[in-house]
Structure 1
Amino acid sequence: MENNKLIRMDNMGIVVESLDNVIPFFIELGLKLEGRATIEGEWAGRVTGLGDQHVEIAMMVTPDGHSRLELSQFLSPTVVSDHRTAPVNSLGYLRVMFTVEDIDEMVSRLIKHGAQLVGEVVQYQDSYRLCYIRGAEGILIGLAEQLGNKR
């Protein structure tokens, strides 16, 4: 049997135009702002391959404390590409899926914050109700409500 050295998934990162615009959306979803910081300098650029960079990050954490979403706003170098309008079947496309207690209530709350339902809320067998929404800045997120024996 192979000895797997993976410990956990630490976080998922999304580059945004404005942390101030996106943080309130994820707070409404139920994440908490764990911290906000500026990362800059040649050492950080060695990790990303971008050289000297200046990035403001916000770390959002789920209520259970197990999952984190790192939001990054690049101050320099400037953003060179935008994948938010690509179709969901594009290679390398990103989305984050969250489990919620009441999908209808959550969708209606997020729509009040500018979110748009991508398709519709659908039921998968007797297991889940699911949907995709475009949230703040057009970021694609998935919502899932577990049916039947919850938690």
Structure 2
Amino acid sequence: MTDAEPRGALQRMDNVAIVVDDLAAAKAFFAELGMELEGEATLEGSAVDRLIGLSGARTDIAMMRVPDGPGRIELTRYHTPASPGGGQPVPVNALGAHRVMFAVRDVEDVIDRLKPHGAELLGEMVQYEDSYRLAYLRGPAGIIVALAEQLG
């Protein structure tokens, strides 16, 4: 902390955590998107339980990072306690966090590469004015990924 930085100041967004049921599939999906595996760990114990407010938690995590950038996604698979849900994927307009957006060079190429990893278009790829080509995909564990290709 510097003298000019006020106490409690926001420094950066470190990562977004996504709970998945198949860690290997989620890692493969995000690796195909272009993210790099930064590290993996199994987390458990009283400090973890106290931090997240669950008893007997045991998780495997994989930290994926954007190459040459600060963005990271923490993929988390809970062994115990079991994750609730697993039913129908939530719709795009559900309350709470529901998508992660990535800037890409060629939306169509990225979609084609992600389809073998279970990605499905939610609607259609669209062009917004002369600025962007955009697409929303659903990936492993119902994760919604938005892709944006800047035009011009």
Q: TM-score, normalised by structure 2?
A: 0.90
Tell me which amino acid in the other structure corresponds to 1:49.
G
Q: How many residues align?
A: 147
Is the Cα–Cα contact under 8 Å of residues 100 and 146 in structure 2 kept in the other structure?
Answer: yes
Q: How does 1:1-151 map to 2 (within 5 A)?
A: 5-82=9-86, 85-148=89-152
Which blocks of at least 5 consecutive residues in structure 1 are unaligned? none
Which blocks of at least 5 consecutive residues in structure 2 are unaligned? 1-5
* Counterparts of 1:59 and 1:6, CA distance in 2: 22
* Counterparts of 1:28 and 1:140, CA distance in 2: 15
Three-state SS of the structure 1 residue aligned to 2:117 is coil
Question: Please, which moves more after superposition, 25-34 or 132-141?
Answer: 132-141
Following superposition, the deviation at residue 114 of structure 1 comes to: 2.0
* Counterparts of 1:83 and 1:138, CA distance in 2: 10
Instruction: Give CA deviations for 1:86-131 in whole Å, capped at 9, x if unaligned.
Output: 1111111411001100001111111122211110111111211111
Is the Cα–Cα contact under 8 Å of residues 20 and 140 in structure 2 kept in the other structure?
Answer: no
Q: Identity of paired residues, percent?
A: 50
Instruction: Give CA deviations for 1:66-85 in whole Å, capped at 9, x if unaligned.
Output: 10000000011111234761
Counterparts in 2 of 1:43 and 1:3: CA distance versus 1, 3 Å: closer
Is the Cα–Cα contact under 8 Å of residues 101 and 147 in structure 2 kept in the other structure?
Answer: yes
Following superposition, the deviation at residue 3 of structure 1 comes to: 8.0
Tell me which amino acid in the other structure corresponds to 2:121.
L
* Counterparts of 2:116 and 2:7, CA distance in 1: 48
* Counterparts of 1:10 and 1:84, CA distance in 2: 29
* Counterparts of 1:6 and 1:83, CA distance in 2: 36
Structure 1 residue ranges, 4+ long, deviating more than 3 angstroms after superposition? none
